[in-house]
Homo-oligomer: A and B are copies of this chain.
């Protein structure tokens, strides 16, 4: 669905949201590594995109012409099998960079999960900026390394953890993932549906729902609504996540 709801091209979208120097995501993104002059150059290259829920940022197989920076909201990144099976490889939030792991064509798709915004850059221009900005390149390398470590942790989860351990891991890690959006102290926001959680954890919707119910029953979490919860026993949750029970 929303297959053709693509993004506006060119200058039309620029200046739609605030400039780099007042960007709320700046402190959390690779842009934090830039000095004032460099930031001005980045600012000139940036194309600001407002995002609606379901908007397609990029599609697996398309020519990789752009890279992105999520500035608010949340994004799902996924790969598909020919018959439609989906694996979500990551959720992105404000400050996250998108487009690192790409050759000539995108190896994954990315869509907004809720209203938000992103910056888009022509890959060629961005590459030139990287060339001239060692601090930016170092930052990107560091980010790539973090992502790689996270990917390895996810492989452990997908290959060897039980359903209970997967959901516990997911809920534990959520608390640190969504920067600048704690809506309210201690409350964890779930911008994604059960189906998206399932496709991220290699489970089905039903299994995710059953495990959540169980965690609720055991008073480890409290479900305020399907999309908001609090963690009542963080230690217990973390132990479950690591398979220590």
**Which residue of chain B lies nearest to A200 when distances are taken between CB atoms in the complex?**
B159
**Copies of this polypeptide in the complex:** 2
CA distance A147 to B161 in the complex (A): 23
Whether A108 and B152, one on each chain, are in contact in the complex, defined by CB atoms closer than 8 angstroms, is yes
Once A158-B202, A242-B82 are accepted as A-B contacts, the answer to whether A102 and B140 lie under 8 Å apart by CB is: no
CA distance A117 to B107 in the complex (A): 33
Residue from the set A85, A159, A160, A243 with the largest chain B CB neighbour count within 10 Å = A159
A66-111 residues at the B interface, CB under 8 angstroms: 79, 81-83, 85-87, 89, 100-103, 107-108
Whether B159 and A101, one on each chain, are in contact in the complex, defined by CB atoms closer than 8 angstroms, is no
Instruction: Tell yes or no: A205 within 8 A of B by CB.
Output: no
Once A243-B82, A244-B82 are accepted as A-B contacts, the answer to whether A145 and B89 lie under 8 Å apart by CB is: no
Chain B residues with CB below 8 A from A200, complex form: 159
CA distance A144 to B101 in the complex (A): 8
Instruction: Tell yes or no: A155 within 8 A of B by CB.
Output: yes
CA distance A148 to B83 in the complex (A): 24
A165-215 residues at the B interface, CB under 8 angstroms: 199-202
Determine which of B140, B148, B199 lies in contact with A100 in the assembled complex, contact meaning CB atoms within 8 Å: B148
CA distance A103 to B152 in the complex (A): 13
Chain B residues with CB below 8 A from A137, complex form: 134, 137-138, 141
Determine which of B103, B155, B202 lies in contact with A151 in the assembled complex, contact meaning CB atoms within 8 Å: B155
Determine which of B83, B89, B108, B140 lies in contact with A243 in the assembled complex, contact meaning CB atoms within 8 Å: B83
Once A79-B156, A242-B81 are accepted as A-B contacts, the answer to whether A148 and B147 lie under 8 Å apart by CB is: yes
With A87-B156, A144-B145 given, can you name 13 additional A-B contacts, CB distance below 8 Å? A81-B243, A83-B243, A85-B160, A87-B155, A89-B156, A100-B148, A101-B145, A101-B148, A101-B149, A151-B152, A155-B158, A158-B158, A160-B202
24 contacts between A and B (CB under 8 A): A79-B156, A81-B161, A81-B243, A82-B244, A85-B160, A86-B160, A87-B159, A89-B152, A89-B156, A100-B145, A101-B149, A102-B149, A107-B153, A134-B134, A137-B138, A140-B141, A141-B141, A144-B145, A148-B151, A151-B151, A154-B155, A155-B158, A158-B159, A159-B202
The 6 closest A-B pairs by CB, nearest first: A159-B202, A101-B148, A158-B158, A151-B151, A144-B144, A87-B156
